[in-house]
Amino acid sequence: MKRFFPSEFGIESGRVKVLPIFQFVMDNKVEIRKAVEEAGIPHTFIAGNFFAEYFIDVLMRPNENEDTVTVYGTGETKGAFLEMSIKIGLLQSHF
């Protein structure tokens, strides 16, 4: 291996505070980063500065009451969530 580029979108794990429900994700990132550095593996960590933070609030809604759901429109429109996951997968494969 000549150089290691971790495959992730993210933030500078050593310089940010995250919502408690996402702390386990940050802990894993810090652990992997330390292991790479301690092993002396040539690496480049790229932080996209969490460009997708909008989606955490809009899609995951970490601060809302889990007992309620907001339905926009009549609630009869069917969704195609597979299409979104394919687009996200394609986006990730290009980085």
Please identify which of the residues 17, 29, 34, 78 carries the catalytic annotation.
Answer: 29
For 49, counting Cβ atoms within 10 Å of its Cβ (0-12 exposed, 13-18 middle, 19+ buried), the class is exposed
Tokens of 90: 């394609």
For 94, counting Cβ atoms within 10 Å of its Cβ (0-12 exposed, 13-18 middle, 19+ buried), the class is exposed
Residue 29 annotated to the active site: yes
Residue 58 phi/psi, 5-degree rounding, is -80, -45
Which residues participate in catalysis according to the annotation? 29
